[in-house]
């Protein structure tokens, strides 16, 4: 997440002070990535050091305002135009956890997958409920539409992300079951059924005892 560019985007709309930037950032993203004031002022100090923002006086309450500079505006629009770099993906705790759980002493990897699947599905339900609320607010005309539309886009990304995670967990469980079978029983899937991605979760659950091949006894 680029706090740096998020703050520049808010400052392009006019001078702001630190607490105001935090409130507007969280409003725009539905507090999905909460900020504290310390983060905001640390980032502002770095932006000022780099010539991307400059102090812009004070408001009536004595808050120090920051304004975007021409260099900051150019940096912001380059960010908008530049695709997000996927060559160095961020570390994903779930992927690391499953990778380390394979063959770990005393770890039931199926239990790890099942626990995560339950949490993922609950998160998906929560996001879907929030999406319905955001849509209702927009359609009622009683919302701050720009912030609600921005929040809706964030929610939909989270929904797609959790849907993909749930499918990956199903796939991982089915993959582990398949790899636990003797070599002569590992039939390649029918190409015409490739869209089903190995097997649905129900089939994996039925074959769950075979996952013991990936569980190493303690001692």
pLDDT at 173: 93
Give the N- to C-terminal CA distance of the chain in Å, as an integer. Answer: 43
pLDDT at 219: 45
What dihedral angle (degrees, nearest 10) is formed by the CA atoms of 131, 135, 138, 144? 0
CA distance 147 to 70: 25
Structure tokens at 177: 């079951």
- Contact 28/44 with Cβ under 8 angstroms? no
Quick one: which of 144, 131, 121, 139 has its CA closest to 27?
144
Q: Which residues, at least 6 apart from 22, have a Cβ–Cβ distance to it below 8 Å?
A: 35, 36, 37, 40
pLDDT at 88: 80
Pairing state between β 53-58 and 64-68: antiparallel
Regions of the chain with pLDDT less than 50: 195, 197, 199-200, 203-204, 206-208, 210, 212-214, 216-219
pLDDT at 92: 87
91: how many CB neighbours lie within 10 A of its CB?
7
How many Cα neighbours within 13 Å face the side chain of 71?
Answer: 8
What dihedral angle (degrees, nearest 10) is formed by the CA atoms of 126, 132, 134, 135? 160
pLDDT at 200: 47
The Cα-based distances of 129 to 47, 120, 142, 152 in angstroms read 37, 14, 19, 11
Quick one: which of 12, 159, 27, 32 has its CA closest to 79?
12
Structure tokens at 27: 């409003």
Q: Which residues, at least 6 apart from 137, have a Cβ–Cβ distance to it below 8 Å?
A: 143, 148
CA distance 70 to 51: 9
């Amino acid at each position: 997440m680029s706090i740096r560019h998020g703050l520049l985007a808010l400052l392009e709309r006019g001078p702001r002070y630190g607490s105001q930037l935090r409130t507007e950032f969280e409003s725009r993203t539905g507090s999905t990535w909460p900020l504290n004031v310390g983060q905001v002022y640390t980032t502002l100090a770095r932006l000022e050091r780099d010539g991307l923002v400059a102090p812009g006086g004070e408001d009536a309450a004595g808050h120090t305002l920051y304004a975007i500079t021409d260099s900051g505006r150019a940096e912001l629009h380059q960010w908008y135009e530049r695709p997000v770099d996927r060559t160095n993906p961020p570390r994903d705790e779930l992927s690391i956890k499953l990778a380390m759980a394979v063959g770990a002493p005393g770890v039931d990897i199926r239990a790890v997958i099942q626990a995560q699947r339950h949490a993922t599905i609950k998160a998906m339900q929560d996001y879907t409920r929030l999406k319905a609320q955001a849509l209702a607010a927009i359609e009622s005309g009683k919302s701050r539409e720009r912030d609600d539309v921005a929040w809706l886009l964030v929610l939909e990304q989270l929904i797609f992300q959790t849907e993909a995670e749930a499918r990956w967990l199903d796939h991982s469980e089915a993959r582990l079951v398949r790899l636990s079978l003797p070599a002569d029983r590992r039939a390649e899937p029918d190409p015409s059924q490739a869209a089903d991605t190995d097997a649905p979760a129900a089939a994996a659950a039925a074959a769950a005892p075979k996952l013991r091949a990936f569980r190493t006894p303690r001692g």
